Amino acid sequence: MTFDYRYSMLLACALLSTGGCIEDTPGSEGTTTTTEGTDTGSGSEGDSSDGGPSCGDGFRSAGEECDGNDFGMATCTSLGAGTGSLVCTAQCTIDATSCTECGNGTIEGSESCDLFDLDGQTCESLGMGSGRLACQSCLFDTSGCMPVCGDGVVQDGETCDGDDLDGETCQSLFGQEGTLGCSDTCVYDDSGCHVCGDRQIDPGEDCDTLPMDGKGLWTTCEELFGRNFSGQVICGDDCTIDTSMCFECGNGVIEGLEDCDGARLGGTTCEDLGELPGTLGCTEQCTFDPSGCGT
């Protein structure tokens, strides 16, 4: 029986793989024999011109450095490229250009600075006042910056600056009423804060409840408005003076606590006061004068 070399080659290919065999026979150099369903290299479905046949499926396979987010055990550090994140190209090769090596004196990737390379920045340019800007772990170190008190902007080391109170009030800081201020040294000035009702006149208060009667009689209507005025000055719930109970006696208008005013008696007679009939009068203090009753 004659040995058929071609037959043995085809049989071996069929048993060992499905990738096809090259028939190496005289006169047929370069001819490719494939089995059914194998890739002939003619651009059939499933082929990738960017990488291997499986590049882009998200799983790193033979011949690929990476695929999607699959880098195997590779990192910027393992590749000697510093720190950061690797990128996988469309050809399934690793791109390490996003890796940075902090400490090499060159700003790379997401670094703000590197050693003495501050990217031209200073304390002033960062709005941190004056002083010396430094670099620590490739991030700006502003501990050497000194804020400028008085520039109207709250910075590190300041609780306030001018009208900039950093959103705070007497209420938010102390649970009190009043107006919070800022000192010349850029710390809070609470002298304008007060507690209304503590029976003590604090800055920003006109009055405060008195322990003797609870009405806050700090002054009189006469002291405030003149000798023709009488009535009662009270302290309001907001620790401001309430003069609504003050009245001017002698203006011909019955006001506040007045019984009468001049000839105006409000329709009251001697009999209404339990007196004998007669002529009811009005005093200079705008109180009834019954001396003319019963005459």
Can you tell me the mean pLDDT for 73-88?
83
Residue 189, pLDDT score: 94
Does the pLDDT value for residue 71 go beyond 80? yes
Average pLDDT over residues 171-186: 89
> Could you report the per-residue pLDDT of 138-154, keeping only the tens digit for each?
999 988 887 788 888 88
Mean pLDDT of 233-260: 84
Which one has a higher pLDDT value, 203 or 254?
Answer: 254
pLDDT > 90: percent of the chain: 33
Range picked from 108-117, 198-207, 236-245, 274-283 for highest mean pLDDT: 274-283
Residue 2 has pLDDT above 70, yes or no: no
Query: Mean pLDDT across the stretch 37-63?
Result: 61
When pLDDT is cut at 50, 70 and 90, the band that residue 20 belongs to is: very low
Could you read off the pLDDT of 208-239 as tens digits, one per residue?
765 434 444 457 787 778 777 877 788 888 88
pLDDT recorded at residue 32:
40
pLDDT at 37 over 60: no
| Residue ranges covered by each domain of the chain | 1-47, 153-193, 195-244, 249-295
Please report the pLDDT score of residue 278 as a whole number: 94
Residue 133, pLDDT score: 92
Whether residue 41 is predicted with pLDDT greater than 50 in this model: the reply is no
Q: Confidence band (pLDDT; 50, 70, 90) for 101? A: confident
* pLDDT value of position 213: 43
Query: What pLDDT score does 256 carry?
Result: 76
Strands 139-141 and 246-248: unpaired
Q: Can you give the three-state secondary structure of the chain, one letter per residue?
A: CCCCHHHHHHHHHHHHCCCCEECCCCCCCCCEECCCCCCCCCCCCCCCCCCCCCCCCCCCCCCCCCECCECCCCCCCCCCCCECCCEECCCCCEECCCCECCCCCCCCCCCCCECCECCCCCCCCCCCCEECCEEECCEEECCCEECCCCCCCCCCCCCCECCECCCCCHHHHHCCEECCEECCCCCEECCCEECCCCCCCCCCCCCCCCCCCCCCCCCCHHHHHCCCEEECCEECCCCCEECCCEEECCCCCCCCCCCCECCECCCCCCHHHCCCCECCEECCCCCEEHHHECC
Which range has highest mean pLDDT (12-26, 200-214, 246-260, 275-289)?
275-289
Label residue 270 by pLDDT band (50, 70, 90).
very high
pLDDT of residue 44: 39
pLDDT of residue 69: 92
- pLDDT tens by residue, 158-177: 899 999 999 999 989 988 88
| pLDDT, greater one: 111 or 295 | 111
> What integer best gives the mean pLDDT of the chain?
78
